[in-house]
Amino acid sequence: MDKKYIGTIVEESLKDNLIINDLKILSVRISRDDNPADRWHMYQVEMTEEQIEKMAEVIKENGWYMHFWDSEKNIIAVFSHRIFRFNFDDKTSWTQAVEYGLSIGIPKEQLDFLIES
């Protein structure tokens, strides 16, 4: 059986949002911005590693990433055409993912790879 990962996908980060139809959605949240055009649609999903790897092909180029975690706090961070694997508790293992995120315009405070238990 494939290991399961949990993560959040922001619909606005996707080149084509139809992929959401093929995912196991656990919950949906919409940000509370006053202007509907500024709202984010966030889907908490459960995915296999194979599904996660495909997300590197559908996420928009710059300024976006998504990350997924398993029960052992192993993280898979997905950028456009780049994937990084590290452990949440070992902050030294984050270096490459954080440096790459900064290089494509993601603010450091957004590269926190939060996990929800």
Query: Does residue 114 lie in a domain region?
Result: no
**Structure confidence at residue 116 as a pLDDT band (50, 70, 90):** confident
* Count of all residues that appear for the chain in the document: 117
For residue 117, what pLDDT is reported?
A: 62
Tokens, residue 39: 């709202």
Query: Does residue 116 lie in a domain region?
Result: no
**pTM for this model (two decimals):** 0.92
For residues 87-102, average pLDDT: 97
For residue 1, what pLDDT is reported?
A: 67
For residue 62, what pLDDT is reported?
A: 84
Tally the domains of the chain.
1
**Can you give the residue range of the structural domain that contains 57?**
4-105
Torsion of CA 104, 108, 109, 114, to 10 degrees: 80
For residue 12, what pLDDT is reported?
A: 96
Query: Does residue 101 lie in a domain region?
Result: yes
Tokens, residue 46: 């459960």
